[in-house]
Structure 1
Amino acid sequence: MSLSTQPAAFAADPAKSRGRRWPEAESRTRSAFERDRDRIIHSTAFRRLKGKTQVFVAHEGDHFRTRLTHSLEVAQIARSVSRRLGLNEDLAETCALAHDLGHPPFGHTGEQVLDQCMKPWGGFDHNAQTLRVLTRLERRYPHFDGLNLTWETLEGTVKHNGPMLRAGDRLEDLAPVWRDLNAEFDMGLTSFASAEAQIAAVADDIAYNNHDIDDALSGGIFTDAELCDGVPMVRDVFDAVRHDFPDLDRDRRRGEVIRRLIGIWVNDLVSESQRRISLYKPGSVDEVRQLPQALVGFSDEMLAKAAELRQFLFAKMYRHWRMNRSRSQARRIVRELFDVFLAEPDTLPPDWQDLHNKDSSKAARLVCDYIAGMTDDFAIDEHRRLFNLDRTL
């Protein structure tokens, strides 16, 4: 497949951006989407991703993915696919880099515990928390909270999983952070996001499906033989690599398998997206938003193979006894941190204390924001400081 040499008619154009919530003078050297990307990379939340769990807790080994390295891999795939489809690489990369900024420590386990803790006050969702980071919690600029990103980048966060509202849905049922942003900056919640944002979302799937295999093999969670027995698509690739390189050592063989698997996923994504482009012939980014289905996606055949892989990973990796132990510890740490901070707000650091706030919802959300921003190691250390009287700490 050749690279697209001309921008697609439906590519996002930074010169036609719907703007920012707080108007700013344009940069003389960077497009609006490039500035968004740079603001994300320089944010505190982005740096913290280096210490947050992807699957393995961050301190378990230097070679496993963290949220940061995962986000970089997603961004690389998003740029590559965008280039092949003639789309705006900067916007796709920006949406990819931002997509996990709201993840708490300990991955989805931390997210589940915070959601349980916050049930009386609207729950917790890492996508909604990403929006809080981007619009409220980052405080680096003199005239506004958040990063004051363009409408298009925020759209990619809001509609990470597609339209927020469908037939029968009510705006009142959305999390407050979605409603508040939409009241100030209409996000078009019933439509799809741009093709670039859609690419970032599916690049996430490609990255984690393949690097979870890589990390699990490196961590001894399952063997090459078990993986091949459980996932026919992977077995076919292993067989092809053995045929092409019969004397290759184990680590190089695994590396070649992962490389080829990523290529299979990317090629299917590009091919299926090109089929949909030929079917719908969108003439603008707004036409992409109004289509009856996502313009970017995998074929039905690839989705079936993905389901087989996810089923295998769930049984053999995500519910492995070592993973269960880590999740068990993480659940206790996050729950106990939340309970003590909510009951005793004077144990929070001074910058996070709001001791005169009698609003239980605001107090709980403040505690939730504090915990959600922690790295794995910081959460572990905070728990020790609060629950361990060892004088050496």
Structure 2
Amino acid sequence: MNRQPLAPYATDAACSRGRLHAEPESAHRSPFQRDRDRIIHSSAFRRLKHKTQVFVEHEGDHYRTRLTHSLEVAQIARTCARTLGADEDLAEAVALAHDLGHTPFGHTGEEALHGAMRAHGGFDHNAQTLKIVTDLERRYAEFDGLNLTWEVLEGIAKHNGPLLASAGDDPSTLHFALAEYDARFDLELWTHAGLEAQIAALSDDIAYNTHDLDDGLRAGLFGLGDLADLPLAGPALAEVRARYPGLDAQRTAHETFRRVFGAMVEDVLTETRARLDAAAPESAEALRALPVQMAAFSEALDGDLKIVREFLFARMYRHPEVLRMRRKTARVVRDLFAIFVEEPALLPDDWRDAAVHAVSADIRARVVADYIAGMTDRFALDEHRNLTDATARV
């Protein structure tokens, strides 16, 4: 299928603001396609295969990982961007990068690492993603990081909305990783991101709301019957049962969740078109300057999703089995942080030098946090066992 012409409000790759370090353009790929490829080939992207969101990686092969989630988000983002006349390569690049900064053990790991880092500037996975693609990925001869375009970096930093209230606000109030990079390459943190990044953010919501229901059902934390009274899922389940009486549970679940998924996509497209028609931005810059985001759920669906999230919180995220694992994995992260800060000589060579020769306690703690954040679930568990269990074979 041939690509449709970009809408006036789309981000045009030919007019990119460029890269911090100038490079010759590719003869065969647009700047955003090149960024997407660099993200896919990065070490941090490969590690997402063994990082989970709710369940620990070793518990089963059928639960989503950060990698499968990122691929799902990218697929949704491309579809929505194409339909709305936005640049689908840019939307895909932001979608693929959005989870690179996550710790092992999902949000539990992030909360534990943030607590450990509280006296040293805290930890934030969005800021960590920016740090990874601008510094910690060290593959190229002429620069650290991936040297992505301004538009992809902007999307990573601001896909959930502006970070500052106005142009005059002090960026030092933000997480240090954001503030430090913004001083080098101004990301205009007081404006909205382009439509493509906004689409990536909504695609993330669509993906995790659907697959958390699916994963929770697979894990036996609730049953199909428990979905009957939920908005979105309940009507979809009723439709499937009416159309396919006697269908087995596995197929019933899949047919239900694909309808939930489709309803959210259609809602985003309808609401976003309506907002674009009303605001009529004539350029990507005009869209960024608008006071509200253009990509959004309708008010009605947003209310439905709040009920779905309350259900997931009560029946999945706070389930006793999940809470037990969260308690264990949080302790793993806290223990690793304390051990490496106290004894940085235990770090691998490339991390050890940076930690041992750190000019302050804050810098040492940040090196340790970078190392732990990059761990997969399995590696973190193994490392913790090797460092704390006297009977473990090193």
**Structure 1 and Structure 2 fold alike (TM over 0.5):** yes
- Place the TM-score, normalised by the shorter chain, in its bin: over 0.9
Match of 1:379 in 2: 380
Q: 280-289 or 353-362, which moves further after superposition?
A: 353-362
Instruction: With the length of structure 1 as denominator, give the TM-score of the two structures.
Output: 0.97
Give the C-alpha shift of residue 391 in structure 1.
5.2
1:289-304 correspondence runs (5 A): 289-304=288-303
CA contact (8 A) 1:78 1:96 kept: yes
SS in 1 for 2:362: helix
Match of 1:72 in 2: 71
The reply on whether 1:183 has 2:162 as its aligned counterpart is no
Fraction of identical pairs, as percent: 53
Match of 1:96 in 2: 95
Match of 1:42 in 2: 41
Match of 1:171 in 2: 171
Unaligned runs of 5+ in 1: none
Deviations 1:43-76 (Å, cap 9, x if unpaired)?
A: 0000000000111111110000000000000000
Match of 2:319 in 1: 320
Alpha-carbon RMSD across the aligned residues, in angstroms, is 1.3
Match of 2:210 in 1: 210
CA contact (8 A) 1:118 1:124 kept: yes
CA contact (8 A) 1:103 1:130 kept: yes
SS in 2 for 1:232: coil
1:342-381 correspondence runs (5 A): 342-354=341-353, 355-381=356-382
Match of 2:152 in 1: 153
Deviations 1:339-361 (Å, cap 9, x if unpaired)?
A: 01000111111121132334111
Letter paired with 2:80:
V
Deviations 1:232-289 (Å, cap 9, x if unpaired)?
A: 3311110001111112111111101111111000000000000001100111000110
Q: 367-376 or 344-353, which moves further after superposition?
A: 344-353
In structure 2, relative to structure 1, the CA distance for the partners of 1:292 and 1:392 (3 Å cut) is: closer
Distance in 1 between residues matched to 2:170 and 2:221, nearest whole Å = 43
CA contact (8 A) 1:52 1:376 kept: yes
Match of 2:80 in 1: 81
In structure 2, relative to structure 1, the CA distance for the partners of 1:224 and 1:169 (3 Å cut) is: farther
SS in 1 for 2:83: helix
Distance in 2 between residues matched to 1:301 and 1:4, nearest whole Å = 32
Match of 2:220 in 1: 220
Match of 1:269 in 2: 268
Letter paired with 1:154:
L
Letter paired with 2:95:
A
Give the C-alpha shift of residue 226 in structure 1.
1.4
Give the C-alpha shift of residue 148 in structure 1.
0.1
Distance in 1 between residues matched to 2:312 and 2:244, nearest whole Å = 27
SS in 2 for 1:353: helix
Match of 2:235 in 1: 236
CA contact (8 A) 1:121 1:364 kept: yes
Distance in 1 between residues matched to 2:60 and 2:19, nearest whole Å = 40
SS in 2 for 1:91: helix
In structure 2, relative to structure 1, the CA distance for the partners of 1:267 and 1:184 (3 Å cut) is: same
Letter paired with 1:194:
G
Instruction: With the length of structure 2 as denominator, give the TM-score of the two structures.
Output: 0.97
1:104-183 correspondence runs (5 A): 104-166=103-165, 170-183=170-183
Distance in 2 between residues matched to 1:109 and 1:17, nearest whole Å = 37
Give the C-alpha shift of residue 169 in structure 1.
5.1
CA contact (8 A) 2:385 2:392 kept: no
SS in 1 for 2:215: helix
Give the C-alpha shift of residue 370 in structure 1.
0.4
SS in 1 for 2:228: helix
Distance in 2 between residues matched to 1:335 and 1:172, nearest whole Å = 27
Match of 1:389 in 2: 390
The reply on whether 1:17 has 2:16 as its aligned counterpart is yes
In structure 2, relative to structure 1, the CA distance for the partners of 1:70 and 1:33 (3 Å cut) is: same
Letter paired with 2:338:
D
CA contact (8 A) 2:386 2:393 kept: no
Unaligned runs of 5+ in 2: none
Match of 1:29 in 2: 28
Match of 1:305 in 2: 304
Give the C-alpha shift of residue 182 in structure 1.
1.4
CA contact (8 A) 1:4 1:85 kept: no
SS in 2 for 1:217: helix
Letter paired with 1:380:
L
